[in-house]
Amino acid sequence: MTNVSAGTLRRRPAQRRSVERVERMLDECARLLDEVGYDGLTTKEVARRAGVPIGTFYQFFPDKQGLVRALALRNLDAFLERIAARVSSTNISVWTDGVDFVVDEFVAMKRSTPGFAVVDFGEILPTPGGPALRGTNRMLDAALENNVIVADRLRALTIELLGAPAGPGLDRALIVAVEAADAVLKLAFRTHPDGDPELIAECKHLLRRYLADHLPQP
């Protein structure tokens, strides 16, 4: 079970059977987002396809939005795990390679992870590449924008795996970098359903040039 149980569920699943039910509901939510979009998603259909009573659904999730919030947090956990695994397996020594890994893993999830094209880290996209539904830029936390949370989670990886110096300068730079990457990658997926490769390359180039002033030189 990922961190979706922390602060997003009505009740933390304690038994293995409950954990499996929650994961099945999240899996079916993701599949339905690809099939019918957010507007067509219903709690009743999620419960039916997950093979759980509707009452069980409401034991864990307050509503459809709560379900999608939990899915977004699971997506973020999976994204960070993929980056950490890739960085560890390749034993990189320069942060520029890490930038490429971050973009590559995000693009790979957009292309292959169920529901990720509609809800990645909180924002709900009715069409590939946005614009997002109004009011979903704070799906993960009522006080913070989604990209601020993503940047904060990436900060820990940047310091731990790449040896970047901690401080307010790095914090601000990562927020700017995440916002910029988000905008360019949305454009890439509006341009082509699998992400325009030239725009993806431009995103990497933009991030490397900008972060060069804030991270150790290769």
**Which residues of the chain fall below pLDDT 50?**
1-7
User: What pLDDT score was predicted for residue 6?
Assistant: 44
User: What pLDDT score was predicted for residue 9?
Assistant: 60
Q: Are 73 and 22 in contact (CB under 8 A)?
A: no
Q: Are 40 and 32 in contact (CB under 8 A)?
A: yes
Domain ranges of the chain: 3-211
User: What pLDDT score was predicted for residue 2?
Assistant: 44
Chain segment 166-218, per-residue pLDDT in tens: 678 888 999 999 999 999 999 999 999 999 999 999 999 999 999 988 876 65
CATH number of 3-211: 1.10.357.10
Q: Are 9 and 58 in contact (CB under 8 A)?
A: no
**Tokens representing residue 43 in the block:** 């709690």
User: What pLDDT score was predicted for residue 8?
Assistant: 61
